[in-house]
Chains A and B, each alone.
Chain A
Amino acid sequence: MNRYLSIFGTFARACLVRDMTFRANFILECVTSLGWMSMNLAFYLLVFTYTPEIGKGSGWSKAPFFAFVATGLIINAIVQAFFMPSAEELTEMVRTGGLDAVLVQPLDAQFLLSLHRVDFSSLANGLVGVGLLAWALGRMDHTPPAITWLLYPLLLLCGVAILYGLVIMLAAATILMGRNQSLYDFWFYLTNFSRYPAEIYAGPWGGPLRTVCTFVIPILLVVNVPARVIAQPLTGEAWGAVAAAVIAAIASLIASRLVFQRALARYRSASS
């Protein structure tokens, strides 16, 4: 465990050195990801000039909604910073045979492949997320109870764990298919569902969609559960959601491990 931590430290340091070597690029990356985010925020502000809340009676008026958005920013920043760059590179490694070099090293392949690159610029969004959360909390009618401060970080971690599991399973698909350019697209489209409050998925189509995205691919639990805990009253239903998020996180981690192991066993290596 200690060894893995220190190896991860080395990875992180190496990536930081790299980022600092190409400093201009690093700053540009921070700026673009901040720009992307502020653009989304501007869009939400625009939407709120036309409506008091998202979904009638859903409770997602302006301030709670921005708390929701902030939660999403924090979770996605963590995943984008620590897991996505490695997973994306995996596609390239499978194609060029770089994965071979990983497999001969006496280290857990999943660890190495999911953490060997850290993208520090993505953390910028997370910091803005924290600021936005503070802003939104100050503007809400509802004051979260004390237990929230325990639950919220835990649920953030659960959200990260669920997404991590999905990233790894997608990466495993990359290994099996030998090539998968659409990994990032797929990821974008999948996580897209988690960007808005689950309440918007209503009606004859929305209902089943909500069920699938909660229980089959638990993408709706990622942001919704922590956001709901911090921005809405803690009802019995909310506690159910908390339990679901914890279970989904554990299941996601276990499933990803199994899938990844199977994928490695079937890896065929690029011909040289």
Chain B
Amino acid sequence: MEDAKEVLGMFTRLDGVSAVCLVGRDGFLIDSIVKKGVDAEMIGAIASGGFGSSESMGRQLEKGGLNMTMIEFNDGPVMMAPVGQDMFLVVAADEGANLALIRLSIRRHKEKLAVAASVL
């Protein structure tokens, strides 16, 4: 069985993916692969608010459970998706990255990631 870092590595091997973080819903970082100088702990804390507010909006609008969010910036998107009951994944990509492939990878690997992280 792969460990969480190995599963995260499957994302960073995709063209254009610059950072990937596995975060507890409380915003505490579980694991990450980011460029030197990026404060992954801070990313986790901030992303938790964004992820949580997306879920709250879905609840208010009665849209059901959250599958994925994407925030588009000038220099590329940030995607977030739930992993198991207690975690979520943050994937930051560069402009022009293949979003469909990233989405597919999130769907494909999130169960594996949930299992890998549960044994940490």
Whether A and B are associated in the same complex: the answer reads no
Query: Interface on B for A, CB 8 Å cutoff?
Result: none
Query: Interface on A for B, CB 8 Å cutoff?
Result: none
